[in-house]
Chain A
Amino acid sequence: MRTNNMLFIDPHAHMTSRTTDDYERMRQAGIVALIEPAFWLGQPRTEAGSFKDYFSSLVGWERFRASQFGIRHYCTIGLNSKEANNEPLAEQVMELLPLFICKEGVVGVGEIGYDDQTAAEDKYFRLQLELAKEADMPVQIHTPHRDKKTGTIRSMEVSLEHGIEPGMVIIDHNNEETVKDVLDRGFWAAFTIYPNSKMGNERMVEVVKQYGTERIIVNSSCDWGISDPLSVPKTASLMLERGISEADVRMVCYQNALSAFGQSGQMKESDWLDATTVDQREKFSDNSVLRGGQTPVVGEIETSGDMPSNIIR
């Protein structure tokens, strides 16, 4: 795989579910920063305290863990659509959000939106849009797996109804069927390169060839499912191989994510360009990513871009 030692941002990665091997490979493949949207954890939570500790871990331990591998970790904080359906719990989570969404390194309210498109989902989506508007923060919107096109359009219309600028909204998990509607309305269109379901990266190459690079963003959404934390660098490599220019690849695999989420005022290129070394001797609340007998890595991390195949179908 060849990526010309380019730098990448993965603006959608659920690192809580990933291992240190993933962090190591991501950094070697050129990922310098990533954004972890708050989402569900595979099964519904039953207590508000679980959300509080989850949010705390996104701004605390997970950020530290990433730093140990030379990656800057940011997050978006929100009540996801699936768990919005438990209304008594949702009410309590809504009370927690103002404590978290403006913290350092939080780059938006997310991922929020629709799943089954129920009345409860709609209610908490709207409340969170208002919160984002009040805090002047970008919004990261999850679009549904089922009845996707309707849900995508509805989420944009509701955003506009609440007076949110399209440029402050990142619509995620797009495909060939939704991209035009999203771009035409002036929203950011993110694509999740996720094996066997959302998008393959050969399709992604064709999308960029057809629609160009303006407001298009590539991410991995790697999580606890079968997913690939190297989706962004692999897609970049495939794009270069298939004749897309390096400047265009940089736009969709780095710059657009920075421009969109940088509107939070919480994410700057200097955050990682000025700090390129790691020190695994550091500790967070006396915890280390190292276990007995492991030797800490101290110093610069090299990008090698060495991977067996760059195609994700």
Chain B
Amino acid sequence: MYQVDIQQIQPFLLRLLHQIAAPEAIDWLSRKLKQVSASSGTGKEFYLAFSSVPRYMGKAPLQLSEADLAEAQRLRKGFNPANWTTDQAARTLLILTLPHTDKAEFLTQINKLFSTADMGELVALYAAMPLLPYPEDFKARAAEGFRTNMGNVYEAVALDNPYPADYLDEAAWNQMVLKTLFVGKPLFRIYGIDRRSNARLAHILSDYAHERWAAGRTVSPELWRPVGPFIDDIIIKDIRRLFDQPEEIQHEAAALACAQSSYPEALELLKAHPQLKNRIDSGELTWDLIGAETLAAQK
């Protein structure tokens, strides 16, 4: 029922807040945490505290050192609060402080929060998912999260968040990856993008690329990242097409896809591009580099 040791994650989040929040803000939060841990019944104290967090804690970005990020990873594999803000951390602490021994009661309160949440609250709730007790019970909620059209809410559930990779079934995962491309967000920030790649997704993405090409639109080179390991007689045609595109970054993506494949023609194509192969072998050319360059080109 746990993804993380709550007793360890609480002091970690509190320490991050101590680094940046004013002493009065910390005092306020400490009082609220005490109230919430002792709360029961209607959850009024909890709802009041949760919604008023920005008023007392502000919305400044947390300042995480490399050591802090490593500590986050140690506490929960894939947990990455690099882009978190003070209100998010405080709201997460409040949720983790809510008594949860009564599962039904806990889920009722969290679901009530979701159904009445404003944008900032949704961001906090979705980004906190990899830390919540009863993770199996939030699958449908996560899927709802990536149906949103609010950009920052989408990012909270889909990017830098290990929950989807760890808990979503294949169909939901595939929808999430496809939608991330569709809304122009970076694939390299999806945790577990390589681990969860699958043949079905590879063909969905290939079909999507065909649609884009038919409409005369560009195709993100990142699209081919989960496709590479599943190159077959159909997808190899796409890869050949990439090598014929004018942009160098498309060739780089094609070479990276080939390097992930054991399909004979893919290996031959890679051999035919020795410079790209060398850059891949030396570790200079990676999917993360392609992702970062694609993102930079959007801005």
Contacts and interface: CB of A to CB of B under 8 A. Distances in A.
Interface of A: 52, 55-56, 59-60, 95-96, 98-104, 134-135, 264-266, 283-286
Given A99-B112, A103-B51, A265-B55, 10 more contacts: A59-B118, A96-B116, A99-B47, A101-B48, A102-B48, A102-B51, A103-B118, A103-B121, A104-B120, A135-B48
A103 B54 CA distance: 9
Contact of B47 (A56, A59, A98): A98
Interface residues of B, number: 20
Contacts of B115: 52
B199 interface: no
A266 B55 contact: yes
B15 interface: no
Binding site secondary structure of chain B: helix
Contacts, number: 48
B130 to A, nearest CB: 24
A99 B113 contact: yes
Nearest to B115: A52
A274 to B, nearest CB: 15
B149 interface: yes
B51 A285 contact: no
Contacts of B148: 285
B83 interface: no
B108 to A, nearest CB: 12
Contacts of B278: none
B7 to A, nearest CB: 28
B150 A52 contact: no
A60 B117 CA distance: 10
B240 interface: no
B102 to A, nearest CB: 18
B8 interface: no
A101 B113 CA distance: 13
Contacts of A284: 150
A261 to B, nearest CB: 13
Contact of B118 (A104, A135, A286): A104
Contacts of B149: 283, 285-286
Nearest to B45: A98
B52 interface: yes
B116 A135 contact: no
Contacts of B112: 99
A91 to B, nearest CB: 11
Most interface-central of A102, A266, A286 (chain B CB within 10 A): A102
B141 interface: no
Contacts of B48: 98, 101-102, 134-135
Contacts of A101: 48, 51
A60 B118 contact: yes
B223 to A, nearest CB: 23
Interface in B29-66: 42-44, 47-49, 51-52, 54-55
Nearest to B120: A104
Contacts of A104: 54-55, 118, 120
A72 B150 CA distance: 19
B117 to A, nearest CB: 9
B123 to A, nearest CB: 12
Contacts of A134: 48
Contacts of B44: 98
Nearest to B44: A98
Interface in B79-132: 112-113, 115-116, 118, 120-121
17 contacts: A56-B116, A98-B42, A98-B43, A98-B51, A99-B113, A101-B51, A102-B47, A102-B51, A102-B52, A102-B55, A104-B120, A135-B52, A264-B55, A266-B55, A285-B148, A285-B150, A286-B149
A126 to B, nearest CB: 16
Most interface-central of B47, B121, B148 (chain A CB within 10 A): B47
Interface in B126-180: 148-150
Nearest to A49: B115
Contacts of A283: 149
A52 B51 contact: no
A67 B122 CA distance: 20
B83 to A, nearest CB: 19
A96 B121 CA distance: 16
A248 to B, nearest CB: 31
B55 A100 contact: no
Contact of B42 (A95, A103, A264): A95
A99 B99 CA distance: 18
Contacts of B42: 95, 98
Given A56-B116, A60-B118, A99 B51 contact: yes
